[in-house]
A and B are shown apart, each in its own frame.
Chain A
């Protein structure tokens, strides 16, 4: 069940990663090799229940009151671009 170049580009789009032609070829080869190996799982009669949590736990809730928070200045400290206490980014393309 081979992955095509188009499929690699589709995955890259979903993952928001830009690939050039050489990358597409490389990752297509790599992913096909790995998926080929992983295909062994398909023939397996698997167990009933999927594991979603490896230890038995339920959602732990806390009281809805403000606790220790990170000050806004700290939150913005690593930002590449800041304006008016907000993260500044390039514009979204119109009409997309």
Chain B
């Protein structure tokens, strides 16, 4: 194993190298830092931890590992592994910008629960990754800190809103990263950058310390170079948290156990509303997805066509629910206690100017839409209706999961598009979320697994959806696709 490409290893390969004494965490972190330095052109990171601090942490990890050689107990599962975090996850005494001018100078006074868990597992947090502002976007172009470039073609988007995390993992700038997913923001950039991305069941991972976008939809999840790595990280970050009232009281299984199951006898549904050129799916994307699905059939899975009849209302429902919740969540940014404060003669002016100056136009657009749909006179027409349609969408999945064990589909209708191509056309951007959005509305888990490239070398992802709390089935299918 080449000593100078430790940054290219998966977490499992790295841990093996550590265990066999072939590499140290200090070496791995050093090479990770070099990679970060070399790939600044991608703009994947907003901030990187100081070199000295990272090397100190790595040396500590090496000492801990060495002192455990004779002990029978296992090392912390991510000991000495360099991991990046989307910059909407709070790290104590560190920046958390949410990709926005509003929080450009904010320093978090506390660690998010996922950060506490990663630290307990021995992981080394190398930096914060770039993202669409306040997670609002599907391209990572709305960031106050500039767009993220796709490592496969830097003239193209990395996807969003967790584009920085996806690009960093794809370009070997860290062993893995965390992203967040509200309408596809882990799965779509994972597909666009050719990495694995998992959105867990709603409630599996604590949202304490995640800058809120839409509280009933947001989830944090892993972005990795292998399915096995994603399963491991998910085991570490899942768990009930008394500090998150929406966290689920569900035991966390050993997700890695699901990887060797194979798909023999598994019933896999193909939603007719998600497939085919009539859904606007690019021909090359469709053919890579169909090839992956055929592979599952050859491996013994039974394929069935199923229907999710309320699919055509999903985008509209999402953009009502999510923007309404966002307008409420972002009301806290008023220049009073933290964040950008504008010069103003009186309090109202301070609120209005701070928010106009601190937020970018996509954020303002969504706050305006959310405010409108929640205002008296509109509430019954839009938001209440959306909440009811959301129930219909959940029931579609309940019905379908009575017939099949998992669903497969494309993640996005196209390959990564050019930077600047869609930024002035919000509706086109929103419509492309069609395949990922329903999983957030229904609360079910979903993941993206790489399943090939277009002729131009652009990554394509296969989406796998499973019933709530059944990530194990999702991982079973993913492991087969990856094989």
Q: A41-B386, A54-B394 are in contact. Are A93 and B347 (CB under 8 A)?
A: yes
Tell me the dominant secondary structure on chain B's binding face. Answer: helix
- The answer to whether the Cβ of A31 comes within 8 Å of any Cβ in the partner chain is yes
Which of A11, A19, A26, A46 is close to B388, meaning CB atoms less than 8 Å apart? A46
Cβ contact within 8 Å between B442 and A54: yes
Cβ contact within 8 Å between A44 and B107: no
Cβ contact within 8 Å between B365 and A38: no
Bound form: Cα–Cα A38–B369 in Å: 11
Bound form: Cα–Cα A32–B365 in Å: 11
Bound form: Cα–Cα A57–B365 in Å: 32
Q: What residues of B have a CB within 8 angstroms of the CB of A80 in the complex? A: 335, 338, 341
Q: What residues of A have a CB within 8 angstroms of the CB of B394 in the complex? A: 51, 54
Closest Cβ–Cβ distance, residue B207 to chain A (whole Å): 13
Q: A34-B369, A37-B316, A46-B388 are in contact. Are A18 and B245 (CB under 8 A)?
A: no
Q: For residues 1 through 57 of chain A, which have their beta carbon under 8 Å from a beta carbon of chain B?
A: 3, 7-8, 11-12, 14-19, 23, 26-27, 30-31, 33-35, 37-38, 40-42, 44, 46-55, 57
Interface residues of A, CB < 8 Å — how many?
54
- The answer to whether the Cβ of B334 comes within 8 Å of any Cβ in the partner chain is yes
- From A30, which residue of chain B is reached at the shortest CB distance? B365
Cβ contact within 8 Å between B313 and A15: no
- From A50, which residue of chain B is reached at the shortest CB distance? B387
Cβ contact within 8 Å between B395 and A78: no
Bound form: Cα–Cα A70–B201 in Å: 30
Cβ contact within 8 Å between A47 and B368: no
A-contact 0/1 string along B285-318, CB 8 Å cutoff: 0000000000000000000000000001101110
Q: What residues of A have a CB within 8 angstroms of the CB of B395 in the complex? A: 47
Chain B interface residue number, banded = 35 or more
Q: A40-B313, A55-B248, A55-B443 are in contact. Are A70 and B338 (CB under 8 A)?
A: no
Bound form: Cα–Cα A77–B236 in Å: 31
Q: What residues of A have a CB within 8 angstroms of the CB of B392 in the complex? A: 46-47
Max chain B Cβ within 10 angstroms of own Cβ: one of A47, A51, A79, A81? A51
- The answer to whether the Cβ of B179 comes within 8 Å of any Cβ in the partner chain is no
Q: A8-B368, A55-B443 are in contact. Are A30 and B426 (CB under 8 A)?
A: yes
Closest Cβ–Cβ distance, residue A39 to chain B (whole Å): 8
- The answer to whether the Cβ of A85 comes within 8 Å of any Cβ in the partner chain is no
Bound form: Cα–Cα A32–B367 in Å: 14
Which of A42, A54, A70 is close to B385, meaning CB atoms less than 8 Å apart? A42
Q: What residues of A have a CB within 8 angstroms of the CB of B110 in the complex? A: 70
Which residues of B approach A to under 8 Å, CB–CB?
105-107, 109-110, 201-203, 216, 242, 245-246, 248, 312-313, 315-317, 319-320, 327, 331, 334-339, 341, 344-353, 355-356, 359, 361, 364-365, 367-369, 371-372, 375, 381-382, 384-392, 394-395, 426-427, 430, 441-443, 468
Which residues of A approach B to under 8 Å, CB–CB?
3, 7-8, 11-12, 14-19, 23, 26-27, 30-31, 33-35, 37-38, 40-42, 44, 46-55, 57, 59-60, 62, 70, 74-75, 77-81, 87, 89-93, 96
Known: A17-B364, A30-B426, A54-B390. 7 other contacts (CB 8 A): A17-B352, A34-B430, A44-B389, A54-B202, A57-B248, A80-B341, A89-B350
13 interchain pairs, CB-CB under 8 A: A18-B355, A30-B365, A37-B315, A41-B316, A47-B389, A48-B388, A48-B391, A51-B388, A51-B394, A54-B441, A54-B442, A57-B203, A77-B107
